Amino acid sequence: MRLPFTKTALVALALLTLSAAWQSRRLAELRRNGMPEAYIGYSSDTPPALNFVMVGLGGFRGLVAEILWFRVSTLQEEGRYLELVQLSDWITMLDPHAAEAWAYNAWNLAYNVSVMMVRPEDRLRWVQNGIVLLRNESLKFNPREARLYRELAWLYQNKIGDNLDSAHLTYKLALAEAMAPLVHADGTVNPTPENRVRLAAVKLDADRMLALEKRFGPLDWRIAESHAVYWASQGLEFATGNERLMCMRGVYQPLMLSLFHGRFTGDLKAHQWAAAGNLAVARSAASMIAETAHSFPSRNMNYVYRRYLTMAIVETSKAGHDADARALYSQLLGSLGKKTEQPTIDAILKGWEPANEE
Beta-carbon contacts of residue 214 (< 8 Å; ≥ 6 apart): none
Beta-carbon contacts of residue 53 (< 8 Å; ≥ 6 apart): 61, 93, 94
37, with CB counted inside 10 A (0-12, 13-18, 19+), is: exposed
- Give the separation between CA 40 and CA 276, rounded to whole angstroms: 41
Q: Measure CA 93 to chain center.
A: 21
Per-residue pLDDT of the chain (358 residues; tens, 9 = 90+): 444 445 555 445 444 444 444 444 444 444 444 433 333 344 444 445 445 555 554 554 555 555 555 555 565 666 666 666 666 676 677 778 889 888 988 988 899 889 888 999 999 999 999 999 999 999 999 999 999 999 999 999 999 999 999 999 999 999 999 999 999 999 999 999 999 999 999 999 999 999 999 999 999 999 999 999 999 999 999 999 999 999 999 999 999 999 999 999 999 999 999 999 999 999 999 999 999 999 999 999 999 999 999 999 999 999 999 999 999 999 999 999 777 789 999 999 999 999 876 4
CB 196 within 8 A of CB 128: no
Beta-carbon contacts of residue 87 (< 8 Å; ≥ 6 apart): 68, 71, 72, 75
Q: Write the secondary structure of 124-163 as one string of H (helix), E (strand) and C (coil).
A: HHHHHHHHHHHHHHHHHHCCCCHHHHHHHHHHHHHHHCCC
Note the pLDDT of residue 338: 75
| Helix (H) or strand (E) run with residue 275 in it | strand 275-276
SS3 content of the chain, % helix, strand, coil (to 5): 75, 0, 25
The helix-helix angle for 146-154 and 241-261 (nearest 10°) equals 20
Beta-carbon contacts of residue 74 (< 8 Å; ≥ 6 apart): none
Note the pLDDT of residue 72: 56
Q: How many residues does the chain have?
A: 358
CB 284 within 8 A of CB 217: yes
Going 64 to 67 to 69 to 72, the CA torsion angle's sign is negative
Note the pLDDT of residue 203: 97
Beta-carbon contacts of residue 128 (< 8 Å; ≥ 6 apart): 174
